[in-house]
A and B are shown apart, each in its own frame.
Chain A
Amino acid sequence: MTVLGIILSAILTDNFVLSKFMGCCPFLGVSQKISSSIGMGAAVIFVMTCSTAITYPVYMYLLVPNGLEYLQTLAFILIIALFVQLAEMFVRKCFPPLHRTLGIYLPLITTNCAVLGVTILNVDLFAASESFLTGYLHALLYAACAGVGFTLALILFAGVRSRMEDADIPAFFKGTPATLIAASIVSLSFMAFSGMS
């Protein structure tokens, strides 16, 4: 996959939330305001990139040479959970203002499908690259772009939801069902990007 291909597919054509359906839970819960969407998004980009930075070499140099590929799920999620805990402690102690805007979202991200999803996909996509370095750099790029795509979807959605507040919706559709149907329309518009390849 070319660099441009990675960027475009991760952000637009194969958007993690709207196309791959990973990371939906916060998508429905957090996107009430644009400010919280940006905070959540920034946290996701951070965790996705750093998790990939750790899990990719662990897979290539620890699991594969020892025939332990089956421990992938366990190892990856453990790395993510421990990393998030450490990161949260670090941000809370050293950057208190950052903690208020971004840090509170960190624990929520441990159980985000998108983070574990991107670490697994990175290994699937790039493990067979010519050299470890090419694969590694591609993987980091993919992770960052996936986070950007996630943030983009989240922000767009916050905008849509804020408009929906004034709409006249039948009783049993109020709240989540209406949100989901709005999500389907946003997803539909992203489908248009698949023609771009």
Chain B
Amino acid sequence: MNDRIKGPIALTLICSAVCALLAGAHLLTDDRIRDTEAVRLQQALSEAFGEGQYTALNVKYDGISQVIRDDSDRLIFDLVSSGYEKGSQHLLIGISDGAVSKVHLVSISDSPTQAAAVSEPDFLDQFTGWTDPDSDYDAVSGATKSSEGIRQAVARALRTYYENREITDDA
């Protein structure tokens, strides 16, 4: 009788100890993790849209991670789209004056050949100037799903933009 409860009790104790230690470690590293993520985002923004002041807007839309406004009043949509795997593409899409100004691929974890194919400026530039989310586009052959993931991201950004015009008038 004694032996049979010794096991589960020991296991529970070990679990609790580990959980407590992890909670402590989490508290210690959480700030650092947030800072690192913020720095990475800033770097991606600078790379895509140039140096400048970027402020995240306090809005939440379905399928959009965050909306950022830059100092020339452009809006940038930070979102995650799915190529060959869910959430494999992280994009920043700039929209100004009602049209797409730039599509920047922050990171993509589709397989290397597909990733390389859709990272080409020739492919991404075709979305510049888009106003209609349902425009035709040219996918890269052999990388259809990756291409489609990016197209869906652009469409989603455009739709969210049009459905929420008030954010462009936001002071």
Q: Is B69 an interface residue (CB 8 A)?
A: no
What class of interface size applies to chain B in its complex with A? 10 to 19
Residues of B within 8 A of A71 (CB): 19, 22
Query: Per-residue CB proximity of A63-76 to B under 8 Å, as 1/0?
Result: 00000001100100
Contact B22 A197 (CB under 8 A): no
Contact call A74/B86, Cβ cutoff below 8 A: no
Task: Say how far B61's CB is from chain A's closest CB, in angstroms.
Answer: 13
Distance from A159 Cβ to chain B, minimum over Cβ atoms (Å)? 27
Q: How far is the CA of A147 from the CA of B145 in the complex (A)?
A: 24
Interface of chain A: mostly helix, strand, loop or mixed: helix
- Tell me whether A74 and B18 are in contact (CB under 8 A): yes
In the complex, whether A78 has a CB less than 8 A from a CB of chain B is yes
Is A4 on the interface with B (CB-CB < 8 A)?
no
Cβ B18 vs Cβ A124 within 8 A? no
- Bound form: Cα–Cα A14–B15 in Å: 34
Chain B residues, Cβ within 8 Å of A124:
86-87
Partner of A125, one of B18, B19, B86, B144: B86
Would you call B26 an interface residue if the criterion is a C-beta within 8 Å of the partner chain's C-beta atoms?
yes
CB atoms of B145 and A197 under 8 A apart = yes
C-alpha gap A197/B18 in the complex (Å) = 44
Considering the complex, which residues of chain B in the window 115-171 have a beta carbon less than 8 Å from any beta carbon of chain A? 144-145
User: Which interface class (under 10, 10 to 19, 20 to 34, 35 or more) fits A?
Assistant: 10 to 19
Q: Is the CB of A74 within 8 A of B22?
A: yes
Q: Could you tell me the distance between the alpha carbons of A124 and B87 in the complex, rounded to whole angstroms?
A: 8
- Residue A171 lies at the interface, judged by CB distance under 8 Å to chain B: no
Which chain A residues lie closer than 8 Å to B144 at the CB level? Answer: 197
CA distance A71 to B18 in the complex (A): 10
In the docked arrangement, what's the CA distance between A135 and B8, Å?
33
Q: Is residue A1 within 8 Å, beta carbon to beta carbon, of the partner chain?
A: yes
With contacts A78-B15, A197-B144 known, is A1 near B22, CB below 8 A?
A: no
A70 to B26, CA, bound (A): 8
Q: What string of 1s and 0s marks CB contacts (under 8 Å) between A1-32 and chain B?
A: 10000000000001000000000000000000
Cα distance A183–B7 when bound, in Å?
42
Q: CA separation between A143 and B18, bound complex, in Å? A: 29
CA distance A71 to B144 in the complex (A): 36
In angstroms, how far is the closest chain B Cβ from the Cβ of A34? 31
Q: Name A's B-contacting residues (CB within 8 A).
A: 1, 14, 70-71, 74, 78, 124-125, 194, 197
Residues of B in contact with A (beta carbons under 8 Å apart):
15, 18-19, 22, 26, 84-87, 144-145
Q: Given contact pairs A70-B26, A125-B86, enumerate 16 new A-B contacts (beta carbons under 8 Å).
A: A1-B86, A14-B84, A14-B85, A70-B22, A71-B19, A71-B22, A74-B15, A74-B18, A74-B19, A74-B22, A78-B15, A124-B86, A124-B87, A194-B84, A197-B144, A197-B145
Offer 6 A-B interface pairs, CB within 8 angstroms, sorted by A: A14-B84, A14-B85, A70-B26, A74-B18, A197-B144, A197-B145
